[in-house]
Amino acid sequence: MSDQVLDVFDAAQLIPGFTAPELPREQPDRATLDAAEHKTRFWTSTVSGPIVVGSDVHRHEMCRMFRETFNPYRPSMLEWPRLEPEALKRIVELPIWDIAVQTEGRARLRMATYAATLEDADLRDAVALNAWEEHRHKEVLSRLVKAYGIELASEPPYVHPKDTEWAYLVTGLSECIDSFFAFGLFEVARRSGLFPPELIDTFEPVMQEECRHILLFANWLAWHRSRLSWWRRLRFELKVAAVWVFLGWERIGLSRTMDAEGNEHKQDSKFTMNGANSVTDINISASEVMRLCLAENDRRFSGYDTRLLRPETMPKLVRFAMRFMRDKAPSMS
């Protein structure tokens, strides 16, 4: 398990000019933690007037948002509370741990290799920091599974993507899907009372960090689109459409991964979309979960400058789907 916790990944070696942020050596006091939590949730640009999509100002401000909302927590200092047997059983049996750890492993490399191709130093540094944070998420997950005795398959080697833009799009759009549903499931878990508040609090910085990640991605996507000539834009939109098809196919059934020994493992790649019953004893309806996802999505983005674009695809699709849903289970509110 130590090789998973201390997994070697150095974004500074992969990305020219990137320097990893300094993290505290000692456990911060409560006031420092609260200040960091506030800083990562609330940000407003000092620029007056509209921020025009595709402009240099747009690029600069989305990158500045990402830098200035950085939360300097150190995974090794996170405290994993002792769980009651029932809560521990629920945690251990969640069908997500292998795919969660490996997803972060792929995400960090995909973002790092894309960042290395960027000529603009401001944007390169922001995407590089995103890659570094994905590695930190992987370390958090690795320490969690170690703390609670969760067995993982050996990790396969992470392969550098041949098409770095495709890889970045796959990672970014996938995070937009998964984070939207994860926001709601995290709130379901909090309201259920099945897990200690200390565990919820430990994971909270990771959840808000995912919000920052997809906020940066959504603005990069809009900025990048607007800078392309019409024929490059057409080719790019075809690539984006292909990524959506790929992600849809991936979520139709179980995701299959190979471990380091070549053994196939089936993972539930749809857990973030339909895993509510795993984190609560209440028979919660799909429409109630969707309402929580929408509410939590709005809440987590509410502290950031409204002139920055938000990911819109999943909220729009869910609002459309909810027109045809009927409540068949009690509300958690």
**Would you state the torsion angle of the CA atoms of residues 29, 108, 54, 69, taken in this order, to the nearest 10 degrees?**
0
Q: Which of 3-7, 104-108, 275-279 has the highest mean pLDDT?
A: 104-108
Q: Which of 93-102, 254-263, 321-330 has the lowest mean pLDDT?
A: 254-263
pLDDT at 327: 65
More confident site: 215 or 84: 215
Position 7 confidence tier, pLDDT thresholds 50, 70, 90: low
Ranges assigned E (strand) in the chain: 255-258, 264-267
> Model confidence over 34-76: pLDDT tens digits?
999 999 999 999 999 999 999 999 999 999 999 999 999 988 8
Of the candidates 43, 49, 69, 77, the one whose C-alpha atom is nearest the C-alpha of residue 305 is 43
Q: Are the C-beta atoms of residues 160 and 9 closer than 8 Å to each other? A: no
Neighbouring C-beta atoms of residue 214, cutoff 10 Å: 24
Hey, what amino acid is at 160? H
Q: Does residue 6 register a pLDDT over 80?
A: no
* DSSP-derived 3-state class of residue 135: helix
pLDDT at 121: 95
Mean of pLDDT over the chain: 88
Per-domain residue ranges for the chain? 2-16+51-322
Position 284 confidence tier, pLDDT thresholds 50, 70, 90: confident
> Model confidence over 224-274: pLDDT tens digits?
999 999 999 999 999 999 999 999 888 775 455 544 444 554 555 445 445
**Sole residue written with tokens 């603005």:** 219
Q: Are the C-beta atoms of residues 75 and 139 closer than 8 Å to each other? A: yes
Give me the mean pLDDT over the 103-117 stretch.
96
Q: Does residue 318 register a pLDDT over 80?
A: yes
> Model confidence over 150-199: pLDDT tens digits?
998 888 889 999 999 999 999 999 999 999 999 999 999 999 888 889 99
pLDDT at 48: 96
**Would you state the torsion angle of the CA atoms of residues 288, 96, 316, 200, taken in this order, to the nearest 10 degrees?**
60
pLDDT at 295: 98
> Which backbone phi and psi does 34 adopt, to 5 degrees?
-65, -40
pLDDT at 166: 98
> Which backbone phi and psi does 198 adopt, to 5 degrees?
-60, -35
More confident site: 281 or 267: 281
Considering only the C-alpha atoms of the chain, give the largest distance between any 2 of them, rounded to a whole number of Å: 59
> Model confidence over 19-36: pLDDT tens digits?
999 999 888 888 999 999
pLDDT at 260: 45
Q: Does residue 332 register a pLDDT over 70?
A: no
pLDDT at 27: 87
Rounded to the nearest angstrom, the gap between the alpha carbon of residue 117 and the centroid of all alpha carbons in its chain is: 22
pLDDT at 266: 54
Rg (CA), the chain: 20
Give me the mean pLDDT over the 111-122 stretch.
96
Position 4 confidence tier, pLDDT thresholds 50, 70, 90: very low
CATH number of the 2-16+51-322 domain = 1.10.620
pLDDT at 330: 53
Give pTM, 2 decimals: 0.90
